Homo-oligomer: A and B are copies of this chain.
Amino acid sequence: MSETAERLKRNNIRPSYARIRIMEYLMEHPVHPTVEDIYQNLVKEIPTLSKTTVYNTLDLFVRHNLARVVTIEENETRYDADTTNHGHFKCETCGSVYDFTINDDGLETKGIGDFAVTEKHVYFKGICKKCLYSKE
């Protein structure tokens, strides 16, 4: 059994072929793909794949903490197999989304003192190095 299959099993997810391939796709393409991206690429090798399955499977992964939703002011939901706490940077010129590591120990927050925080999301926008140097 593949490593991915084992991993799904350990997380109480039956390792169907679609689920294995979707998880592998997520891990092999850490560019925060959309449902459409995943569907278009996997349907080539799984012609019967339906988009609903991609939606269901990604929701399942998120519920089991094997993936995260990445939202950066876009109407299309993106997914990320990296569930550790990290930030995202979106280049407004080329559209790429980069990961960056964050250490939020020093982040002061006032106003939500007694709130129970379960998820922290940080995203920046701007222009990436590549686009900065290739400007005109």
Contact = CB atoms under 8 A, between A and B. Distances in A.
A71 B32 CA distance: 17
Interface string A46-65: 00000000000000000000
Interface residues of A, number: 43
User: Which of A99, A106, A115, A126 has the most C-beta atoms of chain B within 10 angstroms of its own C-beta?
Assistant: A115
A101 B106 contact: no
B89 A115 contact: yes
A92 interface: yes
User: Which 3 residue pairs across A and B have the least CB separation, nearest first?
Assistant: A106-B106, A100-B111, A103-B108
Interface of A: 69, 71-75, 77, 87, 89, 91-92, 98-112, 114-129, 132
